[in-house]
Amino acid sequence: MKNRNKLLPCLVWLLLFGSCSLEDTRDECCGNLIMKYSYQPYEMEAFETNIHSLRHFLFDGSGGYIGEMPPGTTLTRQSLKLDAGDYTMVTVGNLSEKSRCEPALAGGLDSLQLFVAQLFEQQPDCYANSDELYWGVKDFSVDETKRNEYITYMSNIHCRLEIRVFWYNIPPYIGDYVMELKSVPVGYSLNPERNHEVNGFSMPDTTGRVGSYRLRVPLLSQELYGRFVTLRYGEGMIPVFRLWYEDKAITQEIDLARAFRSWGWFPERAHVQAYRIQIQLFSNGKVEVSPWNDVSIEDWVNGGTFG
């Protein structure tokens, strides 16, 4: 009798807290699918420091759009209950209002695209920084007679470019300047059939659409510092830089593709694109562009030809 009394509180606890919710598709005791998420850019797990939100778009085996699935209570582990069959899950990390990503119901997987959405100061066809985006795709099957478990490996699909601008003499104006990058991709196709591999990581193909990104930066200690976040650069899609003060061009267009090639930087071969450059301006119009913290200096004249 004493043992029965000891067990009674345990049974009550199990009834209250151990039952699963048939309404909640994320409840692991009811789900028949566990999807794990991982990001390992350099063979070590780096998910938590880089990816802070996930959106999951689920398609059936024929590419028909089923709907957006809720993330797990822990981002790296998602539990779902699905009927038996074949599926494709497209997952995008760090999406915010800066980006637009919704499949057309009629178009299914073929219609899933992502576009930069936030304009720079409401200027048409000119964008502010995009999200630090990641994506992963997993084709999988569900067997209702067993527990199904898969891993989706995420890829970095954004580019970071830090730019320092300083003058040999003194800046011509005080206040805010505007940095501009031209000819940068502004859209991806997220259809898994339109992707390419870089160092073992799957990267979405661009839609072919390019645009301009702009940053307003203050002059501090006679220098300018800007940090661009854009979609990935590709072969033939490395930006052109220009500096503005109000509506006056401070530099001519600077073709960064030539500089990147001269330094041995090939973004299309890099699964993580993160670059730092510095630009020195002279009163006679000469421009020197170099890797930031690198001792080599390349002379540029008129913003695009080596001097």
Of residues 66 and 22, the one with the higher pLDDT is: 66
3-class SS at 263? Answer: helix
Average pLDDT of the chain? 87
For residue 20, give the nearest of 30, 10, 9, 12 by alpha carbon: 30
Start and end residues for every CATH 2.60.40.2100 domain found in the chain? 22-94+132-156
> Which of 10-24, 32-46, 74-88, 200-214 has the least mean pLDDT?
10-24
Distance from C-alpha of 289 to C-alpha of 82, rounded to nearest angstrom: 55
Start and end residues for every CATH 2.60.40.2630 domain found in the chain? 100-131+158-307
Distance from C-alpha of 203 to C-alpha of 134, rounded to nearest angstrom: 9
Report the DSSP beta bridge partners of residue 217: 177
CA distance to 48, 78, 109, 147, per residue, from 34 (Å): 19, 6, 22, 8
Of 2.60.120.260, 2.60.40.3080, 3.40.50.300, 2.60.40.2630, which CATH number belongs to 100-131+158-307?
2.60.40.2630
For the domain spanning 22-94+132-156, the CATH number is 2.60.40.2100
pLDDT tens readout for residues 237-253: 999 999 999 999 999 99
For residue 6, pLDDT over 90 is answered with no
DSSP letter at 220 equals B
pLDDT band, residue 20 (cuts 50/70/90): very low
pLDDT at position 10 is 38
CA distance to 112, 167, 213, 220, 272, per residue, from 226 (Å): 31, 15, 12, 12, 19
Average pLDDT over residues 60-88: 96
Q: Please give the model's pTM, rounded to 2 decimal places.
A: 0.85
| pLDDT more than 70, % of the chain | 85
pLDDT band, residue 22 (cuts 50/70/90): very low
> Which of 56-70, 100-114, 177-191 has the least mean pLDDT?
100-114
Query: CB under 8 Å to 217, separation ≥6 — which residues?
Result: 176, 177, 178, 179, 224, 225, 226
pLDDT at position 16 is 36
pLDDT at position 206 is 96
> Which of 9-23, 37-51, 139-153 has the least mean pLDDT?
9-23
Report whether 213 contacts 121 (CB < 8 A).
Answer: no
Residue type, 57: F
For residue 37, give the nearest of 202, 151, 157 by alpha carbon: 151
pLDDT tens readout for residues 78-116: 999 999 999 999 999 999 999 999 887 778 999 999 999
